[in-house]
Amino acid sequence: MERAADRPSPARSAPSRVCDGIVASLALVPSVFVYGTVFGGLAVGAGLRSIEVLGMSLLVFAGASQFVAVPMIAAGTSPLAIVLTTYVVNMRHYLMAATLAPAFSTFPRAWLALVAHGINDESFAVAVARQNPPDPWFFIGSVVVVGGSFVGGVVVGTALGGLVADPARWGLDFAFPAVFLALVGAQLRSRADKLVALASGTLAVIVALVLPGNWHIVIAGVIVSAVAALVLDAERA
């Protein structure tokens, strides 16, 4: 049965759809702001200058990869190792970009580069949960909110300069996974959705116990996504 969220909405102006994306993403602001603040504090505590932390947040704009990169930088790890590690962590962006690509097929190529830079897990989840295929302008509105919240949090975190020396003591380290758990939970509507989530989580844990690093993210994402696509296509046929 076709879900209401999957039906095409009446034609509306781009600014209105951007506003919809902004409003729909406001609930994410506290969590995104908090882990941006935690990152800023940790990065300054690791020896990076405030301008370097802000520059990384604007140019890299990938929270998970930035959290991984900072301790590696502090430990004097080689640039090549840092690039390869963060690349693996962010390989899930290929899957998100492939899902978003049809929605942005009419956009100028110069716009696509900017949109690609703004892809993030939160905005992707919100946009796909609302409408599939996602509305490109709705997605852009969400990126504005999520990106602004994260960068704003980073600015505050660097200003505090590592005032919170141990974020885990206050539970602030859970802000990052909490956002993703909430996003996943909101999308588990059918039995198939729940089975896919359970399978991916189980496989990720198994792979994490066997392989070092963050390969469990990529392997679980690719394998379960491929299997789920085949199963769901067979059900609809």
The pLDDT tens digits of the residues spanning 48-92 come to 899 999 999 999 888 888 888 888 888 888 889 888 888 877 888
Note whether 140 and 21 are within 8 A (CB): yes
Taking the whole predicted model, whether its pTM rises above 0.85 is answered as no
The pLDDT of residue 1 is 43
Domain residue spans of the chain: 28-187, 188-237
The pLDDT of residue 225 is 73
Note whether 12 and 131 are within 8 A (CB): no
In whole angstroms, give the CA distance from residue 68 to residue 95: 20
The pLDDT tens digits of the residues spanning 91-106 come to 888 888 988 999 998 9
Task: Compute the half-sphere exposure of residue 23: CA atoms within 13 Å on the CB side of its CA.
Answer: 7
